[in-house]
Amino acid sequence: MRITVNVNGEDHTREVEPRHLLVRFLRDDLDLTGTHWGCDTSNCGTCVVLMDGEPVKSCTVLAVMAAGHEIRTVEGLAGTAGGDQLDPVQQGFIEEHGLQCGFCTPGMMLTGRALLDRNPDPSEQEIREAISGQLCRCTGYLNIVRSIQWAAKKQAESAAAATAAPTAAPAATLAGGQS
């Protein structure tokens, strides 16, 4: 079947078998190997990507089911604030040592992004709940929570700075529009 999936803002058209899983489509057909693949049984959550803005386990979604939808992978995180700038969630994982081996990290960061998009000021409990479907074999959960908290704080500070300096706002909009 011929399908078109929008991945990180760009349409990708490919010929696929209906049984092709979204995780394979992203990794093998589009070479986006940032999406990891672990248990294959919808249990570990390392394959999490955003589908229309919400986390889903891409080992349990068919590529054909994603046709016509918007997929966001870890490769699409940087640059949203303009230029190559890291997403605040990515920066948070650096600042707070949110990763050890890095296997769970892409899925964790995307879940963090989706959470902050809906709820810019989540409680610790809400963050824990949001990542509860994803395993970290290195058991770095505390630092993952702190990383997402760091991002929330950073975003709030940036937003406050933008309102405090009104001239900065149009510039930011322009940069966003061009990226």
Partner 1 sequence: MQVPASFDYQRAQSVDEALELLRRHGEEARVVAGGHSLLPMMKLRLAGPELLVDINELHELDYIEVVGDELRVGALTRHRALLESELVGRHFPIVHDAEKVIADPPVRNRGTIGGSLCQADPSEDLSAVCGALHARTVIRGAAGERIVPMADFHRGPYETAVGVGEMLVEVRIPVRPGAGSAYEKVERKAGDWAVAAAGVALTLREGRIADAGVGLAAVGAGALELPAVQDLLDGREPSEALYEEAGRLASEHCSPVTDSRGSAEYKRHLAGELTRRALRRAVARAGAAVEREA
Ligand X SMILES: Cc1cc2nc3c(=O)[nH]c(=O)nc-3n(C[C@H](O)[C@H](O)[C@H](O)COP(=O)(O)OP(=O)(O)OC[C@H]3O[C@@H](n4cnc5c(N)ncnc54)[C@H](O)[C@@H]3O)c2cc1C
Question: Where is 150: in which H helix or E strand?
Answer: helix 141-164
Interface pattern 9-48 for ligand FES (x via CB under 6 A) = ----------------------------xxxx-xxxxxx-
Give yes or no for residue 122 binding ligand FES (CB under 6 A): no
Nearer to ligand FES, 83 or 137 (CB): 137
Tokens matching residue 105: 């990290």
Q: Who's near 169: CB < 8 A, 6+ residues apart?
A: 162, 163
Q: How large is the greatest C-alpha to C-alpha distance in the chain, in angstroms? A: 53
* Closest approach of ligand FES to the CB of residue 87, in Å: 18
Q: Which does 54 bind (CB under 5 to 8 A by kind): ligand FES, partner 1, ligand X, none?
A: partner 1
Choice between 20 and 146, CB closer to ligand X: 20
- How many chain residues interact with ligand FES (CB under 6 A)? 23
Question: Rounded to the nearest whole angstrom, what is the least distance from the CB of residue 16 to ligand X in the complex?
Answer: 20
Residues that bind partner 1 (CB under 8 A): 1, 17-19, 21, 24, 37, 40-42, 45, 48, 51, 54-57, 60-62, 64-65, 67, 111, 129-130, 132-134
- When binding is defined by CB under 6 A, the residue of 14, 29, 33, 43 that contacts ligand X is 43
Strand-pairing partners, residue 4, are 13
Other residues' Cβ atoms within 10 Å of the Cβ of residue 68: 11
Closest CA to 34 of 64, 4, 2, 8: 8
| Closest to 55 in 3D by CA, of 66, 45, 40, 68 | 45
Distance (Å, rounded) from C-alpha 167 to C-alpha 52?
Answer: 32
For the chain, the straight-line distance linking the first and the last C-alpha, in angstroms and rounded, comes to 32
Q: Which of ligand X, partner 1, ligand FES, none interacts with 138 (beta carbon under 5 to 8 A by kind)?
A: ligand FES
Smallest gap, in angstroms, from Cβ of residue 85 to ligand X? 35
Residue ranges that bind ligand X, judged by CB under 6 A? 42-43
